Structures are given as C-alpha cells and as structure tokens.
A and B are shown apart, each in its own frame.
Chain A
C-alpha cells in the first residue's frame, strides 16, 4: 500500500480525454520524476495531486483516505515561478504557514508564539542556504534564491508529499546543479516524498528513484483528442543516477499528437 495511490483515474474535458486509466502507487520516501512531451498530461497529473482538479473517473487516495479536490497543507508545492509572496520578506514568507495554522482570525501570530515561529523559520532558511537573506523581499533575490525560499516555505508545513512543477526550469545551468544538490540533501535528510515534473530527462534520472513517462498509448489520427495520456513507462531505479533508456530519449524529441 503506497502513500499515494491512483486507481483507474481519468480526466476528461467534454469529449477531450487528457488522462486515461492512470493506475499507480507512490511509495513513501520515493523521489518520483515525471517526464513526457508537452501536452501529455504531466501538468494535469500534478494538478490532480495538488487538488486544483478532480478526476472525472477513478479515485486518488493519500494515506489511505480519499484526496480532497482542494489544495491543502498535506501537499506542499513549488512552481516554476510566482511561488513566493512578493509583499512579504523572506522570513515572513516562511513563517506564513505557521501564521495560518496558529492564528485563524488574524492570520498572524503575535508575541512569544511569533518569536518561536520566527526561530523555526530562520532555521529553515538556514537549511536552504538563505540564512542571511531573511529581511529581503523576493524581488531582491535571484531566481535560484527565490526557488530556495519557495522550498523552505513549503517544507515548514512538513507536507506528506512535496510537489515540484518544473522547479529549476528557469534557472542557469550552474544554479541548477546547486539546486539539485540542495533538493537531494533535503529529501535524504528529512525523509521526504517528492514528485517532480520536469522537461529535462537527464535531471529526471539524476534525481529520481523512479521515473514516470507520460504519453499517449493509442492514437486516432482523425480524432487525436479522443485518447488520453497515461504513464507509458515506469522505471523504478535502485539508486539515483541510473542510465537513461533509449526509448525515452526518442520520446523527448517528438511532441504528443
């Protein structure tokens, strides 16, 4: 029994089928990379887990309970951009999650409880390498630092799953490598379960313990929208950094029809 299970999940918009028959189980503590050509339902798959969308058919369970079709604190998320609040300092961005939990009415802790929360936030900022940037607004942070902040902000809620939607897609190659190190370290040290959508197959195999490739299994040339995508390849990797199968490299080249 996995942490997150998909049982025969379909997503349809009218007569357009986006995802068909997704049947998967994600084990706790795994680092799942999700790859596939554009339009193959990677993002829809992630939106399902976040709760931005509900399956048309089938069921998704988290921890043995039906997943609510609404974002919640059990699922942390880092997007490619717009993940942090521009009007809050880095420290306040991280404390936000604790503020919400501790103060339903004001959305902001006060006094001793706030001091304790700030200490916790500072520790989290230090863990992602932003110890000296707590007072800065996001606009003053580089792209890589903003993503570090977004990760710290999500991790302070200790989510059951951390979802990453092309988190390093907009970063320079060098910064990317630093971020790979950071996320691998955080994943190992905190026993996180991570699901990451990426365009970069090398990144997927470097970081993941399991790689899911989404694509259409069947194609109807006269009505391409009638068949949806699903996980056509599912590679369990014994350890991160395994060799990339050639079939997958070929898939990267062509778009989903």
Chain B
C-alpha cells in the first residue's frame, strides 16, 4: 500500500499523536536528571518538583502586594489580548465586508490597507509608546495593528470571492446593498473571520509578550522577562506551558463556536 493511503484510526491515531510529546517530556526528564547529578543546584533544567514548587509560590497571595502573581499576570494578559482581538475582529469585519463587497471602497482603501500590512508591527512599537505612553493603550494598539491588516485582507478576498451569481440572484430577489451585506455577505464571512482570528492568535501572543517584555508592571510576558534576570527557569518554563495552554484553549473555543453557529460551513457535521 502506498504511504499516502495509510490512515491511522481511533486509538492508534491518539497514540501516534501522543508519542512525540511523551518522548520530548522523557528527554527533558533525562537531561534534567543528568545535569542535577552533576550539580544539584542547577538552574537551567529544573526538576518537575522544583517547577511545581515555583508555581505554587507564584499562585499564592503575596502578603506585600495582596495578590497572587500568576493570577494577576494571567488576568492582565488575557484582558489585553482579549480587548485587542475584539477590536481587531470588529474592524476586520467592517473593513473586510466593505472592501470585499463594494468596488468603490476597494478602489479607495485597498492600496492603503496593502501598504499598512507590510509594515512590521514591532517597528511601530516605539511610535506607539511615544504617542500612547507606556500604559495599556500602546500594548493593545500593537496587537491590533499587528493582526488587523492580515485579517482585513483575508476577509475582503473571501467576500470578493462570493460567486457573482449569488450577488445577482440576491438583487433579483429585491435585495438592497445593505440587505445583501447583512444577509448574504455577513453570514458567509463569519466562519472565515473566526478561522482567520484563530490563525491570528499566534501573532497576537507574540506582540503581547513583546510589548509586556519592554514596558509593563504586570503580565505573563512581563513576568518571564523579569525572572530571566535570576535564571529562574523553574518559573519561565511553567509560564510558557501556561501561555501555550491559554492559546490552545482560545483556539479550541473559537473552533467550537464556529462549528456550532455555522453548521452549513462544515457540511460533514451539518444537518
């Protein structure tokens, strides 16, 4: 049988997927043990026990500040990325629909969006810090600027690819431009918008952690760059895992929402 026709099923597929992860964990444990055998005070590859202890410390309320660092960091970061993604999604929806549907808008703003999309967002960060100060606004603005142009262009291309037959049909059914946007283009744009938001999660986290690393006093990115000074791998590693878990949770949630709300876009699971 050809290799491309071999399809793992059920338990085998799960096992195949789990194996590399287990192998990586095992490799880490062995390396960590080897280093600790040489030097019991090794900081580079902390043991699982040390990491659990560090996390417990971070999750405990600090009597000086009155709150647990892990909790306030998570809340601050989630608030920033959540707010930024909400703004980016709303902007993308409006601009993407407009550019995709109206040739007039496309002619007027298409080149502008294309030009903005090629600016590396991190290069804009100093400008944002100067304009908005070092507060929340600059960090949220960085994420918005980083992910919106790509999402706008993706959605505009998707809306523009709606077959002309559909647009003509809607008009022969008496649909105005507004009704067509609302009832034909918007619902067909939504699953794509959610997909594009899912793809934007990764860059959004990159921008968030970069902004927090440079200027912040709370946040997941702030914390890992802070404890870097003390080589605290026992805090950094669990934080990285925690950030990944948050990102995966957001991704899975968005996927579920899309499949629930737009079953027609996923025919194999639809009615």
Contact = CB atoms under 8 A, between A and B. Distances in A.
A and B pair up: yes
B179 A70 contact: no
A83 B264 contact: no
B182 A107 contact: yes
A31 B173 CA distance: 21
A100 to B, nearest CB: 4
Contacts of B210: none
Interface in B121-151: none
A252 to B, nearest CB: 26
B271 A108 contact: no
A145 to B, nearest CB: 15
B184 A50 contact: no
A73 B264 contact: no
Interface residues of A, number: 38
A97 interface: yes
Contacts of A114: none
A85 B170 CA distance: 9
Interface in B152-204: 163, 165-166, 168-176, 178-179, 182-184, 187-188
Interface stretch (A34-42, A152-160, A230-238): A152-160
Contact of B173 (A73, A106, A137, A140): A73
Contacts, number: 94
Q: For the complex, would chain A's binding face be called helix, strand, loop or mixed by DSSP majority?
A: loop
A222 interface: no
B178 to A, nearest CB: 7
Nearest to A76: B172
A82 interface: yes
B262 interface: yes
A73 B183 contact: no
B267 interface: yes
Given A85-B184, A100-B176, A140 B165 contact: no
A48 to B, nearest CB: 13
Interface string A85-114: 111100000001101110011111000000
Interface of B: 163, 165-166, 168-176, 178-179, 182-184, 187-188, 262-265, 267, 270-271
Interface of A: 50, 52, 70-73, 75-77, 79, 81-88, 96-97, 99-101, 104-108, 135-137, 139-140, 150, 153-154, 157, 159
In the A-B complex, the 10 residue pairs with the smallest Cβ-Cβ separation, listed nearest first, are: A71-B171, A107-B179, A82-B163, A97-B173, A82-B165, A73-B174, A107-B183, A100-B174, A79-B165, A139-B267
Given A85-B166, A87-B262, 17 more contacts: A52-B168, A71-B171, A73-B173, A77-B172, A79-B169, A85-B170, A87-B188, A96-B170, A96-B173, A96-B183, A99-B183, A107-B182, A137-B264, A139-B264, A139-B270, A140-B270, A150-B169
